[in-house]
Amino acid sequence: MSPPSTYSCRGCNVPANFFDRLRAIVLSFFLIAAFAVPALAGPFEDAVAKFANDEFSDTDEAIGAVATSGNPLAFPIISALQDGRLSADPESKKVFVTGADGKIIDAATGAAVASLPAGAVAVRLNNRLRRTVEAALGGLTLLSPDPAKRLTAAQSVFKSHEEAALPVIDGALAKETNKAVKAAFAEARAAILLYKSDASDAEKLESIAIIKARGDQEALALLTGLGSDASPPVAQAAAGAISAIQSNLAMWSMVQNAWYGLSLGSVLLLAAIGLAITFGVMGVINMAHGEMVMLGAYTTFVVQEVIRTSYPGLFDYSLLIAVPSAFLVAGAIGVLIERSIIRFLYGRPLETLLATWGLSLVLQQAVRTAFGPTNREVGNPSWMSGAFELGQITITYNRLWILCFTLAVFAILLAMLRYTALGLEMRAVTQNRRMAASMGIATSRVDALTFGLGSGIAGIAGVALSQIDNVSPNLGQSYIIDSFMVVVFGGVGNLWGTLVGAFTLGIANKFLEPVAGAVLGKIAILVLIILFIQKRPRGLFALKGRAIEA
């Protein structure tokens, strides 16, 4: 079929027909389950020894032979292989399984071994072998007592729609009591029947109905892959099901875009919210805002390092500890910057811009010198990893948590400005500085605290952004433009404007992106904002009245 490779390649000349072997594996597991074939000696040991050759083709053969051997050690060996717990000594050709509990056994005999020999190395896998291993384990776990495992096994059969699994599925379906697993088995059975050459048209039509009801991308892939060799009524039903699924998916993709837009909007809001205080409320053109975000992210890194070395059990709480730390670090630096530089520059926007721009470079280089120029690894706690399905869209936990977190930060900030004494003083000073001073408010102290608050919130944003972006000295630079865009678009001096602005830009961006591409989409957004600012120079929600004169 394909011309012979011009390159040498370890593991290329494996027995080609993967599915033949898969069928054998699945069947053999069925046989094991049904008749409990006694273990055979001889070929099994030879097969196991092949793991020690460190050749992908030999490992492939060994998996096939071990899986079909019927030996009770087959399952521990193959699952150990998947987890990297199978090791081989190239000298003696002996292979060892290190159990999940740390116990070591000789893979060929099952005898316990005290420790691994010095030369033993883990048996290597590549992607193709990983698929073989998954299929081998999938065949076994169809009858696993754990419903979650049965569900995954059923789904992998749905994907591979391998005929040989049909008797096992039929048997499992009859016994199954769990509703979700039963449905998955039914879908897997339908997938197999759809591709089975000798299945009747009636069976195939029934299968198409079941797959159509599933309605996701995998169902679509299965139906489109059917090809033209189906009989006319089947082909017609398949075409109908395809168009039904497609229109359903098109609707879901709107929902998906809206969700992605909300998620992008929440990131924009989080990055901009600190700037809405320093620039929006105080009027300081703060080019070092992004660096405050970066400092927050590095604080997260430091907190995680301390936790990793001293209290590894607390790792899942590392972000909760990092939030107040980042607020304090970035806030303290903010107060320092205000006291040492910015307070001399009030009312001189151009000088402020240049001074804070220079400051941002200083901070970047300082971090680069202290932590090195390369990215730092900030881990995701378990509750921030992974995703769940909602209808036909995938929602990742980290984005969901960031959305919730952003809204919480926004609410707390609003409440603070509205209900606390400091908030009242801040509003008084920014609305009419001289009047506030005459009322006995220490305006310079309030300035410092306000700037510190804005910087501290930028630091908190850094904690969240460390979960989805690089932690590098350049982290802040990528957010500074977006942040200014959001604040200016939303209306300077108005927190609600920032909220609405961020979500509007996020959603607009995500609806443009599939049509125009990421690069053009971003440009289009910028053009739209420029046009909008021409029409409404003060943004979405302009402050009215005397406040703007101050």
Of 519 and 531, the one with the shorter C-beta distance to another protein is 519
330 contacts another protein (rule: CB under 8 A): no
d(CA 403, CA 482): 17
């759809």: which residue's tokens?
194
The pair of three-digit structure tokens given for residue 64, joined into one six-digit string? 């096939």
d(CA 41, CA 30): 20
d(CA 271, CA 274): 7
* Alpha carbon distances (Å) from 531 to 279, 526, 528, 535, 537: 22, 9, 5, 7, 10
121 contacts another protein (rule: CB under 8 A): no
Residues 37-66, interacting with another protein (CB under 8 A): 56
Edge-to-edge order in the sheet of strand 86-89: 112-113, 104-106, 94-98, 86-89, 121-122
Question: Which of 46-54, 86-94, 177-185, 214-222 is the region at the interface with another protein (rule: CB under 8 A)?
Answer: 214-222
**End-to-end Cα separation, the chain, in angstroms:** 78
The pair of three-digit structure tokens given for residue 175, joined into one six-digit string? 């016994």
Site string (355-374) toward another protein, x via CB under 8 A: ---------xx--x----xx
d(CA 436, CA 429): 6
Site string (375-394) toward another protein, x via CB under 8 A: xxx-xx----xxx------x
267 contacts another protein (rule: CB under 8 A): yes
d(CA 429, CA 443): 6
72 contacts another protein (rule: CB under 8 A): no
| Number of helices and strands in the chain (H, E) | 21, 7
427 contacts another protein (rule: CB under 8 A): no
Of 63 and 277, the one with the shorter C-beta distance to another protein is 63
* Alpha carbon distances (Å) from 460 to 253, 256, 328, 421, 446: 32, 27, 9, 22, 21
The pair of three-digit structure tokens given for residue 187, joined into one six-digit string? 């879908």
Looking at 141, 152, 472, 498, which residue binds another protein (CB under 8 A)?
472
Looking at 15, 39, 130, 547, which residue binds another protein (CB under 8 A)?
130
263 contacts another protein (rule: CB under 8 A): yes
d(CA 229, CA 160): 19
218 contacts another protein (rule: CB under 8 A): yes
Residues 4-23, interacting with another protein (CB under 8 A): 5, 7-12
User: Least separation, in Å, of the C-beta of 126 and another protein?
Assistant: 5
417 contacts another protein (rule: CB under 8 A): no
Total number of residues that touch another protein (CB under 8 A): 64
Cβ-based neighbours of 361, under 8 Å, separated by 6 or more: none
155 contacts another protein (rule: CB under 8 A): no
83 contacts another protein (rule: CB under 8 A): no
User: Where do contacts with another protein occur on this chain (CB under 8 A)?
Assistant: 2, 5, 7-12, 56, 84, 124, 126-128, 130-131, 134, 217-218, 220-222, 224-225, 256-257, 260, 263-264, 267, 364-365, 368, 373-377, 379-380, 385-387, 394, 396-399, 468-474, 477-478, 510, 513-514, 517-519, 522
